[in-house]
Structure 1
């Protein structure tokens, strides 16, 4: 039995969540891998595997035709290019990091994924059960074509012991992109609701906005300035220090989050995490000793969930540290190695048949 070299294809060199997860994987995997990226970037510097920068379609085609092993596309765009440019002898897997839903993708992108990418793709990696379900629903793919593997989130050995008591006043943290669907305004409004319930709290809003999100960021800044104890910091590089200086992490997305990397990071830091009750975070936070999920978009629901955590704070933090052990890089990378080995270790490369066109169920 042979283990063919696996080619990972990335369309960008920007250090987004998917690119950072791939970097962590490529640095630690035990498999024979290489990277083809359409953009150079610091995120790819220092990798122990071969790296080819292919900025044009012609160069991507040449790079993909030079090998015979499987191709794993790291994004929707990379999967589209791989479907068009990789030779038929190479198996194609799509690492799905965003839900294949109309709320997360444009109609054109969803149509191209259904009618071009999916016809060529034989395997799918999903970062959560929720994401896997969107693949089945949008593309009509069978469950056996999809494996759920959480993204490597930069979590090493889980620290301990967990926190015993929160500070007074309570120090809340929102950590993430400043975007309307991420909804940090829910956390800001929850601070006032907590005060009405007799719970004194401050809130740090840490994160930056992307192009086109300035209007929402401005509205959020106006709202934050009207609520005592709310501070907006912008992007913060030292995430570990930020988590260490707060008592609870709040996650507020009003559109389902495919995975919830920051949720896992918060648990690993030894603090409780409250999240909207949909998408990947529901899988991470299920079976907590107290409910850590609240109705999406509800400041009252978030404040109520926080109030229930406080009397059992140490119990919740201890549970969170144990839960985070399922999401360490060691665990997720070993799982991904096992999945790719089971898919692609064989006596030799086999031709891939073209799958039929797809339509939503």
Structure 2
């Protein structure tokens, strides 16, 4: 591993981040935005599979290793990459290793870290994971106990960590969302007083994301207010596990009594958001965080979210956005009708939304991430009751013997 000796590097933590793929997903982009702002780390990033984020990190001056260049992620990589990962860790001796995805957590759990602290960055609802059967029960008894610290991407995510892992130190560190740390110079956005209201969702077309709830809600609005002037744009692509859901969603849009279009993946998300008036995140299940929320607030959208999960750590109802009852098209329709009936009332929401630049700006979140990471590493190293390897082994044995 490349180790520089410049004055700039002195005293900076040598952190090894590991992710399963360099594809531009939410977690990978958050890592990019974090390391672009980093000032207290000397990071190295290892991706098992290739993707555009690797080149963007290199352009930012980050040492990046791709174990399988030119290849998309395959699950077998989680096993065949073990020797390469072990060699990189052994040779580089980082101050800590951070697993950045649930997939790579399973791989790193099989590597003996010795005295090197290992941490898992949690970006999904672990209670939901627990419902997936025997394999995940084994994961909670053998995989997560192999880590010395847990970093959650929201208070909600942290709340889903099972009690069996309570002895593992943890912290909450929100992910960067590509939001600058200071407001732009232009005037505060105002909600359109007349003309078409542009409503949009920026979500993968998966059932749990609830895009059908949004379509149904707008159908209710149109039935109750036939003269209401609005259109719907759905942005988002990527891997889709339920092709039937996408087919049904497209059919609903074709039959909708209002203008609507499903665009799929787009690269110019900031441009699309800048031309959006209302951004809706209609998730059926709790969002662990929801980077699109911070992005929408920063781009002058009125943001409407379901009242659950990490979403309501960013949106305060009737202050900087609106919330609706989860899974209720009726409740969402009420909030949309409220905006359409009194367009001027949205201006107060947009004024309060500008606080996002200081509360969820990338510089502030990057600084908090680094501070929490340093604190967690120091806490782990100070616990001298037993070597780290012994603590990991005891946790695993205790959880294996514990009755389900």
Judge same fold: TM > 0.5, yes or no.
yes
Q: Distance between the aligned counterparts of 2:152 and 2:315, measured in 1?
A: 18
Deviation at 1:19, TM superposition (A): 0.9
The C-alpha deviation readout for 1:226-285, integer Å capped at 9, x for no partner, is 112111112121111111112100111101110011111101111111011111101111
Equivalences for residues 165-204 of structure 1 within 5 A: 165-166=191-192, 167-198=194-225, 199-204=228-233
Partners in 1 of 2:356 and 2:64 — Cα distance? 35
CA contact (8 A) 1:64 1:86 kept: no
Tell me the residue number matched to 1:123. Answer: 149
> Partners of 2:14 and 2:123 in 1: how far apart?
23
Q: Which moves more between the two structures, 67-76 or 291-300?
A: 291-300
Contact 1:224/1:230 (<8 A) preserved: yes
| Alignment correspondent of 2:178 | 154
Q: Which residue of 1 aligns with 2:322?
A: 292
Q: 1:175 to 1:200 in 2, by over 3 A?
A: same
Structure 1 counterpart of 2:269, from 224, 234, 239: 239
CA distance in 1: counterparts of 2:11 and 2:241, whole angstroms: 48
Answer whether contact 1:173 1:250 (CA < 8 A) is retained: yes
Higher alpha-carbon Rg: 2
Residue by residue over 1:148-172, the C-alpha shift from the partner in whole angstroms, topping out at 9 and shown as x without a partner, is: 1111111124334332122522211
Unaligned segments of structure 1, at least 5 residues: none
CA distance in 1, matches of 2:351, 2:241: 40
Whether 1:280 aligns to 2:310 is yes
1:261 and 2:288 aligned: no
1:52 aligns with 2:52: no
Per the TM alignment, residue 112 of structure 1 is displaced from its structure 2 partner at its CA by 3.7
* Distance 1:360-1:178 versus aligned 2 partners, 3 A rule: farther
Query: Does the 8 Å contact 1:94/1:125 carry over to 2?
Result: yes
Is the CA contact (8 Å cut-off) linking 2:303 and 2:321 kept in structure 1?
Answer: no
Q: Which one of the candidate residues 69, 83, 98 is aligned to 2:109?
A: 83
1:164 maps to 2:173: no
**What is the CA–CA distance in structure 2 between the aligned matches of 1:264 and 1:360, rounded to whole Å?**
42
2:12, 2:265 → 1: CA distance? 41
Per the alignment, in what secondary structure is the counterpart of residue 144 of structure 2? helix
How far the C-alpha of 1:312 sits from its partner, in A, is 1.3
SS in 1 for 2:232: strand
The alpha-carbon deviation at position 133 of structure 1 amounts to 0.5
> How big is the shift at 1:23?
1.6
Distance 1:49 1:29 in 2: 10
Distance 1:284 1:307 in 2: 22
Moved more, 209-218 or 9-18: 209-218
Cα distance change on mapping 1:200 and 1:190 into 2, 3 Å: farther
Which of 331, 352, 355 is residue 364 of structure 2 equivalent to?
A: 331
Evaluate the alpha carbon distance shift between residue 49 and residue 209 of structure 1 in structure 2; reply closer, same or farther with a 3 A threshold. Answer: closer
Indicate the SS of the match to 2:336.
helix
Mapped partners of 1:70, 1:360: distance in 2: 32
Larger relative contact order (C-alpha < 8 A, sep ≥ 6)?
1
| 2: CA distance, partners of 1:155 / 1:122 | 31
Q: 1:324 to 1:276 in 2, by over 3 A?
A: farther
Give the aligned length: 359
3-state DSSP of counterpart to 2:247: helix
The superposition leaves residues 63-122 of structure 1 with CA deviations (integer Å, 9 ceiling, x where unpaired) of: 122233211110112222222114221111110011112358733553243112222212
User: 1:318 offset after TM fit, Å?
Assistant: 0.9
TM-score (norm 1): 0.91
Moved more, 271-280 or 149-158: 149-158
> How far 1:337 moved relative to its partner?
1.0
* 2:241 corresponds to: 212
Structure 2, unaligned runs of 5 or more? 1-9, 69-80
Contact 2:253–2:261, Cα closer than 8 Å, also in 1? yes
Q: Distance in 2 between matches of 1:360 and 1:200?
A: 58
